[in-house]
């Protein structure tokens, strides 16, 4: 469609300050909210979408392998799930025991998160929604690209999210309790009806004559 005929709707949780002109709609929770009683390992959600390639490659070949090794040593295993640009990640982590690398389109991130002890993630709405819905511990990977840096800055104003910058920092592996991390952003501050409104708008547009 031409730009002047496009309708843009953005998800924006009610607990976070939103830009003028955008309607808060809530974050959509995963379909299953259960968590395994026995949780083990680390889930590392990595996003290189929209990140300048040199910046993404520098992170994949520099800080990432050390972080993955420490995650395996601390929690027993590390499942890396990424949206794009996984070739340098696979090369950098090849041969590391207890490590798997999968594309997001081929992995069940919700199931992996349900049985993981800790979530390390690029600053993305998907990661925030996953952790908030389960009241599970979340630590941010160093933000890459403008969008991630903006989101990380906004979220950490309200939520104490540890930064996975130094793999040897004990605080990274002892995250805040659910009450400490998510207590200020209760479910009542997330307007899921707004998200349903977005879905209705999309359905109506699909049925509208061209």
**157, pLDDT greater than 70:** yes
Burial 149-174 (b: 16+ CB within 10 A, else e): eebbeebeeebebbbbeebeeeebbe
Predicted TM-score (pTM) of this structure: 0.82
**144, pLDDT greater than 70:** yes
At 100-133, the pLDDT tens digits run 999 999 999 888 998 999 999 999 988 998 898 8
- Beta-sheet pairing, 99-103 with 138-140: unpaired
For 164-192, what is the mean pLDDT? 81
Is 203 exposed, middle or buried, given 0-12, 13-18 or 19+ CB atoms closer than 10 A? exposed
At 36-55, the pLDDT tens digits run 678 899 999 999 999 999 99
pLDDT at position 33: 62
pLDDT at position 69: 96
pLDDT at position 63: 94
203 three-class SS? helix
pLDDT-derived band at 5 (thresholds 50, 70, 90) equals: low
Tell me the CATH number of domain 33-193, given options 2.30.30.760, 3.40.50.2300, 2.60.120.260, 3.40.50.2000. Answer: 3.40.50.2000
What is d(CA 181, CA 159) in angstroms, rounded to the nearest whole number?
6
**201, pLDDT greater than 60:** yes
**Domain layout of the chain by residue ranges:** 33-193
pLDDT at position 148: 96
> Residues of the chain with pLDDT > 90: what percent?
54
45 three-class SS? strand
For 131-160, what is the mean pLDDT? 92
């Amino acid at each position: 469609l031409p730009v002047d005929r496009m309708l843009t709707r953005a998800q924006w949780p009610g607990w976070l300050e939103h830009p003028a002109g955008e309607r808060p709609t809530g974050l959509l929770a995963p379909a299953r909210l259960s968590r395994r009683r026995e949780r083990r390992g680390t889930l590392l959600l990595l996003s290189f979408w929209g990140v300048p390639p040199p910046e993404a490659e520098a992170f994949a070949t520099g800080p990432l392998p050390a972080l993955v090794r420490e995650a395996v040593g601390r929690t027993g295993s590390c499942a890396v799930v990424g949206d794009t640009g996984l070739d340098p990640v696979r090369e950098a982590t090849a041969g590391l025991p207890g490590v798997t690398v999968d594309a997001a389109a081929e992995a069940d991130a919700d199931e992996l998160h349900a049985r993981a002890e800790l979530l390390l993630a690029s600053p993305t709405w998907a990661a925030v929604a996953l952790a908030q819905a389960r009241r599970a511990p979340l630590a941010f990977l160093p933000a890459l690209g403008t969008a991630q840096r903006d989101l990380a800055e906004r979220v950490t104003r309200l939520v104490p999210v540890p930064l996975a910058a130094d793999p040897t920092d004990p605080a990274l592996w002892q995250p805040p309790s659910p009450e400490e991390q998510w207590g200020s952003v209760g479910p009542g501050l997330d307007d899921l009806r707004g998200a349903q409104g977005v879905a209705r708008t999309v359905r109506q547009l699909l049925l509208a004559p061209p």
